[in-house]
């Protein structure tokens, strides 16, 4: 029985029995996935999620802000949710980036439509994301009006509301809902923020989300505020607030590069050459890069390098990205990276407005909007470290 093979087999059988016949939460695999100390659902954050009110009061007669449902929760799972909210909430818009922690079919079978609208946590939504969210909500409200007309005995005031959730239902959820109130329902920004906070206390928690909302606003001649959606230039994908006191220099290089590379990939604006899967980045390299995201990582590294040094040309980047060449029995020596690769990276960053040419000194430098974007990413990276998964 205590033989190594026998004991492991017995342990496996016990694990299967416990997860299959007692509670699947007793499975080590389930616990690693949902209770990992590094992830969204570690023990601390699970307790925080459980303490949050599941569904807010009505917001402007259109929305209810929610925390995400969890399939394994006894109180806020699809089975319980549809019993309480079917007919009161007609749609659930899931703005979390990951696959939901519940089976959306449980909502659909209970008469509540599920819509996935993925966004990334801790980053304020882009103008384009706000526009798409508004289009989605307009479509749902239009459908609600048509359904009400078909059933004339129902009063308009009894139309079901739209549930919106990220993980906890405060920051991204509040950002999108407040944006809709301002853009489509005539709220001023302050009134929109107060409406959300009053019905989903304490409201949007991250100050830099609120800062970004203010920066996305302009005042017209009547001193009324409107989202700068229709007037945002096509080249500007993220209007952001200045966040004094935090810059790229305050964040570890590898953490910033990973965060900015992820942003560039999510943004989807960076032109990617067709040869990225086959090119070697240096004569010292025997194979092309193995990471599918290497071009985004190189672009993030180049942007940071130029940010730190003001003006940089291809020659300096070649040296920075070079490596030692293995020459067998002979001494190795430094080989510069490919100039054409770094040149293409800089040209791609220039096309999306992060870099510009320095006519006086030669080379390229960070644009003002590029510097704001990089500093904003630095801010969100530090916020993620300091505040954990507080949403």
Is 289 within the bounds of a domain? yes
Is 230 within the bounds of a domain? no
CB distance 76 to 69 below 8 Å: yes
Is 261 within the bounds of a domain? yes
Is 167 within the bounds of a domain? yes
Is 215 within the bounds of a domain? yes
Q: Write the CB contacts of 138 (distance below 8 Å, at least 6 apart in sequence).
A: 184
Q: What is the pLDDT of residue 105?
A: 93
Q: What is the pLDDT of residue 185?
A: 87
What 325-332 contacts at long range (C-beta under 8 Å, 24+ apart), as own/partner pairs, is 325/283, 325/284, 326/284
Are 130 and 21 within one domain? no
Q: What is the pLDDT of residue 115?
A: 95
Q: What is the pLDDT of residue 233?
A: 38
Listed residues 204, 219, 234: the one ending a domain: 219
Are 30 and 50 within one domain? no
Are 198 and 340 within one domain? no
Is 226 within the bounds of a domain? no
**Sign of the torsion formed by the C-alpha atoms of 173, 175, 178 and 183:** negative
CA distances from 359 to 112, 150, 372 (A): 58, 65, 22
Q: What is the pLDDT of residue 324?
A: 56
Q: What is the pLDDT of residue 186?
A: 84
Boundaries of domain holding 117: 44-148+157-219
Residue-by-residue pLDDT tens, the chain, 391 positions: 544 434 444 655 675 577 667 776 675 555 544 444 445 555 557 888 889 999 999 999 999 999 999 998 888 999 999 999 998 999 999 999 888 889 999 999 999 999 999 988 878 888 889 999 999 999 999 888 877 666 554 444 467 999 999 999 999 999 999 999 999 888 888 889 999 999 999 999 888 888 888 877 653 323 344 555 543 433 333 333 344 457 888 888 888 999 999 889 888 889 888 887 766 665 545 566 667 888 899 899 999 988 988 788 777 776 676 555 555 666 655 556 666 788 888 899 999 999 998 887 788 889 988 888 888 888 888 777 655 544 4
Are 161 and 24 within one domain? no
Are 54 and 30 within one domain? no
Is 241 within the bounds of a domain? no
Are 311 and 382 within one domain? yes
Maximal C-alpha separation, the chain: 89
Are 366 and 315 within one domain? yes
The first and second tokens of residue 145, run together, are 């009006």
Q: What is the pLDDT of residue 98?
A: 84
Question: How far is Cα 4 from Cα 359, in angstroms, rounded to an integer?
Answer: 71
Listed residues 201, 219, 237: the one ending a domain: 219
Alpha helix ranges (H) inside 117-232: 127-150, 171-185, 189-199, 207-215
- Residues 138-147: b if buried by 16+ CB within 10 A, e if exposed: eebbeebeee
Q: What is the pLDDT of residue 187?
A: 87
Are 123 and 209 within one domain? yes
Question: Residue 219 pairs with which residues in a beta bridge?
Answer: 225
* pTM listed for this prediction: 0.52
**CATH code for position 205:** 3.90.190.10
**CATH code for position 376:** 1.10.10.10
Q: What is the pLDDT of residue 28?
A: 54
Q: What is the pLDDT of residue 325?
A: 56
Are 188 and 270 within one domain? no
How far the first Cα of the chain sits from its last, in Å, is: 49
The first and second tokens of residue 274, run together, are 């067709």
Listed residues 171, 193, 219: the one ending a domain: 219
Are 15 and 114 within one domain? no
Kindly report the number of other CB atoms within 10 A of residue 123's CB atom: 26
Q: Structurally, how many domains does the chain consist of? A: 3
Is 246 within the bounds of a domain? no
Are 173 and 261 within one domain? no
CB distance 119 to 129 below 8 Å: yes
- Cα Rg of the chain, angstroms: 25
Question: How far is Cα 267 from Cα 191, in angstroms, rounded to an integer?
Answer: 30
CA dihedral angle for residue 203, residue 204, residue 207, residue 210, rounded to 10 degrees: -110
Are 63 and 29 within one domain? no
């Amino acid at each position: 029985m205590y033989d190594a093979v026998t004991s492991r087999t017995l342990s496996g059988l016990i694990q299967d029995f416990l997860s299959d016949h007692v509670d699947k939460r007793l499975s080590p695999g389930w616990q690693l996935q949902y209770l990992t100390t590094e992830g969204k659902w570690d023990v601390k954050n699970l307790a925080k999620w459980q303490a949050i009110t599941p569904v807010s009061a009505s917001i402007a007669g259109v929305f209810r802000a929610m925390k995400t449902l969890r399939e394994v929760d006894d109180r806020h799972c699809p089975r319980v949710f549809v019993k309480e909210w079917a007919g009161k909430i007609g749609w659930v818009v899931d703005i979390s980036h990951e696959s939901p922690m519940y089976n959306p079919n449980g909502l659909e079978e209970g008469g509540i439509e599920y819509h996935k609208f993925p966004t990334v946590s801790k980053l304020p939504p882009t103008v384009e994301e706000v526009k798409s969210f508004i289009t989605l909500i307009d479509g749902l409200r239009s459908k609600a009006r048509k359904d009400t007309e078909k059933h004339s005995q129902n009063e308009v005031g009894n139309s079901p509301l739209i549930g919106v959730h990220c993980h906890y239902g405060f920051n991204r959820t509040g950002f999108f809902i407040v944006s809709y109130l301002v853009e489509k329902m005539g709220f001023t920004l302050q009134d929109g923020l107060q409406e959300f906070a009053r019905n989903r206390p304490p409201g949007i928690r991250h100050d830099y989300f609120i800062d970004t909302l203010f920066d996305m606003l302009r005042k017209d001649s009547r001193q009324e505020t409107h989202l700068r959606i229709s007037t945002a230039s096509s080249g500007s994908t993220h209007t952001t607030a200045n966040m004094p006191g935090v810059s790229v220099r305050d964040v570890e290089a590898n953490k910033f590069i990973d965060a900015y590379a992820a942003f560039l990939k999510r943004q989807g604006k960076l032109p990617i050459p067709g040869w990225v899967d086959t090119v070697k980045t240096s004569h010292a390299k025997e194979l092309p890069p193995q990471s599918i995201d290497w071009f985004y990582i190189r672009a993030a590294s180049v942007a940071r390098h130029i940010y730190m040094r003001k003006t940089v040309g291809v020659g300096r980047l070649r040296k920075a990205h070079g490596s030692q060449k293995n020459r067998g029995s002979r001494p190795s020596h430094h080989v510069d990276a490919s100039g054409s690769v770094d040149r293409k990276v800089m040209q791609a960053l220039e096309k999306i407005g992060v870099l510009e040419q320095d006519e006086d000194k030669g080379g390229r430098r960070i644009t003002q909007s590029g510097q704001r974007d990089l500093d904003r990413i630095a801010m969100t990276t530090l916020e993620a470290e300091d505040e954990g998964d507080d949403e």
